[in-house]
């Protein structure tokens, strides 16, 4: 029972991280300093996808779910359920595009305004 509750808590944190990964850059439009933790989140995601860093949340949750007799968040709720596994690359590209759009907007908002020439 405790393992399941802890796994659910880790799943909630994991989901929150994924949501923040997608929308954090847009939040920085309103709160400019929010870009710094978002850059760290994006850097970690890039490391997971391209370098092969292990995701600590996935590992912790899988261990807890295994001890509780269940499946992990990614395995159970995302791949194959929310989106088919063959769309993983498409989803990653879509997230990268959203992050790029958010950062472009953040930079445009931060750029000094030039008056009429």
80 — pLDDT class (breaks 50, 70, 90): low
Q: What are phi and psi of 105, to 5 degrees?
A: -65, -40
- Give the pLDDT mean for 22-29: 95
pLDDT at 114 over 90: no
| pLDDT over 90 (residue 96) | yes
The mean pLDDT of the chain is 84
Tens of pLDDT, residue by residue over 15-24, are 899 899 999 9
pTM over 0.85: no
Q: For residue 18, which of 61, 72, 74, 60 has the smallest C-alpha distance? A: 74
Determine which of 47-51, 70-74, 96-100 has the lowest per-residue pLDDT on average.
70-74
- Going 29 to 33 to 37 to 43, the CA torsion angle's sign is positive
């Amino acid at each position: 029972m405790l393992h399941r509750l802890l796994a659910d808590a880790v799943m909630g944190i994991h989901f929150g991280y994924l949501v923040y990964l997608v929308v954090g850059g847009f939040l920085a439009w309103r709160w400019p300093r929010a870009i710094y933790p978002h850059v760290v989140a994006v850097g970690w995601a890039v490391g997971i996808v391209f370098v092969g860093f292990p995701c600590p949340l996935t590992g912790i949750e899988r261990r807890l779910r295994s001890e509780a007799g269940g499946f992990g968040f990614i395995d159970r709720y995302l791949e194959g359920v929310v989106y088919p596994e063959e769309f993983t690359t498409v989803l990653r590209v879509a997230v990268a595009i959203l992050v790029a759009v958010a950062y472009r907007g953040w930079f445009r908002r931060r750029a000094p305004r030039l008056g009429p020439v």
